A and B are shown apart, each in its own frame.
Chain A
Amino acid sequence: MATKILSVDDSRTIRLIVGKAFRPYEVQLFEASNGEEGLAAAAREKPDLIILDVTMPVMDGVTMLTKLKENAELKGIPVIMLTAESGRDNVLQIAKIGVRDYLVKPFKEDQLIEKAGRIVTLQKKPAA
């Protein structure tokens, strides 16, 4: 069964890059463009991993992460935060709420795969 990954980012560019990174793997990718949609998608799909942006309109990533951790059914889903902000305070804040890892933009697709692969099983698709 494919690993289910939810990408939550207001930037379609980043969602496309995330999708491209996981394309060689047996991954079912879901997308949401803000924290509110992300919470709904997480409740609906129960993903194995969430890749979550920090700065988004409607509901930002920190608020979504906080709500996720308050929800008994969803709090166990591991989260990798994807942020353009690498400052100490920013990293400390998201670490306190409970993320498995974080990745600072700009990032290479290989870095994302490496971090995701430490958390979930990423099986290569068979060669066509």
Chain B
Amino acid sequence: MSQTVQITDVSAFMARHLADVFDTMLSMKAVLMPKAELPSFGERVSGSAGFGGEKVTGAVYLHLSEPFAKRVAAAMLGLSPEEITGESEVNDVVGEAANMLTGGLKSWLCDAGSECAVSTPAIIRGTSFAIEPMPNVEREWLVFECGQDRFVVEVHLKFN
């Protein structure tokens, strides 16, 4: 079945899964904005986790503006944003969210016949950086809106 999985199928799954993660863990409604332009961030917090197996490799990146990442961290921990005082709490929450997104995708790929394993999450912070995929890797950006904020899920995928 893995040969019939397309990046568009993955994107459709990720759109549903992200909404579920935000609703369940944050009580926040995240809506996919089809064909929306990529938002420009100031300081950005990006969580990522990779996955790999014989048939498939890839990664999921969750890009949030720093202020929104702080609100997400507060929501997940049941605190007010003012109570989030350190970068480490925000990093850990964004990393965990990336882990949940990637774990869900991994399960979906495994059930579709593409066994793979997931890496532990990583965090990148900065104001100006770009993530370039390796050659022959398909990439899809999904822009979501959550209240006044827009954020991005980036999926890299390569079938071997």
Q: Which residues of B contact A (CB under 8 A)?
A: 20-21, 24-25, 73, 76-78, 88-89, 92-93, 95-96, 99-100, 102-104, 106-108, 110-111, 115, 118, 120
Contact = CB atoms under 8 A, between A and B. Distances in A.
Contact of B104 (A10, A20, A86, A89): A86
Contacts of A85: 103-104, 106-107, 110, 118
A123 interface: no
10 contacts: A17-B77, A55-B99, A84-B106, A85-B103, A85-B107, A86-B107, A89-B110, A90-B107, A90-B110, A108-B24
B118 A87 contact: no
Contacts of A11: 92, 95-96, 99
B100 A55 contact: no
Contacts of A7: none
Interface in A70-128: 83-90, 105-108
Given A13-B93, A89-B110, A89-B115, A105 B100 contact: yes
Interface of chain A, helix or strand or loop or mixed? Answer: loop
Contact of B100 (A20, A57, A89, A106): A106
A88 B110 contact: yes
B135 to A, nearest CB: 28
Contacts of B21: 106
Question: Which of A17, A55, A89 has most B Cβ within 10 Å?
Answer: A55
A16 interface: yes
B102 A84 contact: yes
B97 to A, nearest CB: 9
Contact of A87 (B20, B77, B78, B110): B110
A83 B103 contact: yes
Residue among B25, B108, B118 having the largest count of chain A Cβ atoms under 10 Å? B25
Given A12-B92, A84-B103, 10 more contacts: A11-B96, A17-B76, A55-B103, A84-B106, A85-B104, A85-B107, A86-B107, A105-B25, A105-B99, A106-B20
Contact of B107 (A55, A56, A57, A87): A87
A27 interface: no
A12 B76 CA distance: 12
Contacts of B73: 13
A107 B93 CA distance: 14
